[in-house]
Amino acid sequence: MKTVPLTPDTEALARRLVWFEEPEEALSDTCRFVAYALARATHEEMNLLRRFLTEDDLREALDHAPAGIIDPRSWAYWNARMGRYPAPPMPSRRLG
């Protein structure tokens, strides 16, 4: 998966989406950052990310999304947008 570079626009986006981390840290794990974007970004913000990421990158982010970040509605929407209908099971935490 490609990385999302640190630019003034992506820094502002990272500060909004992953407010509890510094932008450099948030952008360092692309799959995790994109998972937050898939759940919380506006249409305009996703257009910004799409300048750096392909549909294959978004599919990879869905395949490797950490559990607990993407809500069920966003999960269904983005999987449908990527041609996956019905959507596969959401990521889940494994205990024990």
Q: What is the tally of structural domains in the chain?
A: 1
Residue type, 74: S
26 pLDDT higher than 80: yes
Contact in structure between 24 and 6 (CB atoms under 8 Å): yes
Identify whether 3 is part of a domain. no
pTM: 0.94
Averaged pLDDT of the chain: 96
Assigned token pair, 92: 């889940």
Residue with tokens 């249409």: 43
18 C-beta neighbours (distance < 10 Å), count? 20
Confidence at residue 80, expressed as pLDDT on a 0 to 100 scale: 97
Instruction: Report how far apart, in Å, the C-alpha atoms of 45 and of each of 13, 85, 86, 89 are.
Output: 7, 24, 26, 26
The boundaries of the domain holding residue 60 are 8-81
Q: Give the residue-averaged pLDDT of 82-96.
A: 92
Identify whether 38 is part of a domain. yes
